[in-house]
A and B are shown apart, each in its own frame.
Chain A
């Protein structure tokens, strides 16, 4: 079974749920009508969404490349985390607002789209993994990082994994537009 077939099956499943009905109801609502009839609303939300991804992904790379010992080696791990970590969570706020805005603007295209649900699943996974990583790995080990540049092997794998998860989310985000709905 190809990926296309799986996505097709997923779409067929979404059509059996109450989602299409809810999407149409949302589409008839005042906020949706407003966003859909103002030409610039969707591109502007998309541009803010992309700029927020740039802020977050740039910060994530600075932390993870520091963990891997590829860049920022002159900065302590404490400094790196304090400098870049808050930007990822602030960006998430803007990503959530503009993301919800884009769903409201085009409900059937988004809500009956298998790729949107795959993306949201990956986002939830990323948030949980990131919190666990920050709380149980980065913070307790900050002091040790001040003396050695590179983290333990498992920590490095986690840094690579989180970066790849980000990439997977961006792939899914771009492919929402290409999924036949």
Chain B
């Protein structure tokens, strides 16, 4: 109940009502969200595919990580800001939408997977940095990362089909 009033409050806020009522604001923010999201997923996939041994095989894992991570974080920041703005404009509808909730679950799992990988497998990276013998845990983390981020894209796209259903 407290949460429900929070969602209603966000939706009724100046930012929320502006985005919801403007002709251009929602599509424009959504477009920025898409550009940021493909950058996040594209850069993360480069790292995941290296861990899986599919690409960049002749480069060190830490090099690929250094090359892609700054891009990933900048793009993720833009995706989070634009995503929050989209959410605020229709907060009460989004929290009822199962596809939105599934997207948030995938996002949480992607984050947890990355966190676990960095706290465990990544600690030994210097033992296998320039090699193709990636620990099994690292390959599993990379596969899960791709799956969760594809899930974010899949459920995110379905939100667009169901905005009118869950209001």
- The interface of chain A, by Cβ under 8 A from chain B, is 43, 46-47, 50-51, 53-59, 61-62, 65, 71-72, 74-75, 79, 83, 167, 170-171, 174-175, 177-178
Contacts and interface: CB of A to CB of B under 8 A. Distances in A.
A71 to B, nearest CB: 5
A168 B148 CA distance: 28
B154 to A, nearest CB: 5
12 contacts: A47-B154, A51-B150, A54-B45, A54-B153, A58-B45, A59-B42, A62-B68, A71-B67, A74-B66, A79-B58, A167-B35, A174-B34
B135 to A, nearest CB: 23
Contacts of B59: 75, 79, 83
Leading 7 A-B pairs by shortest Cβ distance: A58-B42, A54-B42, A54-B38, A54-B41, A72-B67, A174-B31, A178-B27
Contact of A50 (B66, B153, B161): B153
A53 B42 CA distance: 8
Given A54-B45, A61-B43, A178-B27, A47 B38 contact: no
B42 A50 contact: no
A83 to B, nearest CB: 6
A71 B70 contact: yes
B84 interface: no
B56 interface: yes
Contacts of A62: 43, 46, 67-68, 71
A7 to B, nearest CB: 13
A107 to B, nearest CB: 19
Contacts of A167: 35
B71 A43 contact: no
Contact of B27 (A75, A83, A175): A175
How big is chain B's contact interface, by range?
20 to 34
B27 A47 contact: no
Contact of A51 (B31, B41, B63, B160): B41
Given A58-B42, A175-B27, A50 B67 contact: no
A72 B35 CA distance: 21
B88 to A, nearest CB: 20
B161 A61 contact: no
Contacts of A61: 39, 42-43, 71
B38 A170 contact: yes
Contacts of A57: 35, 38-39, 42
A62 B68 CA distance: 8
B158 interface: yes
Contact of B63 (A46, A75, A175): A75
Nearest to A58: B42
Contacts of B30: 174
A55 B45 contact: yes
Given A51-B153, A83-B56, A58 B70 contact: no
B81 to A, nearest CB: 17
B11 to A, nearest CB: 21
B126 interface: no
A171 B37 CA distance: 13
Nearest to A82: B58
Nearest to A60: B42
B55 interface: yes
A175 B30 CA distance: 10
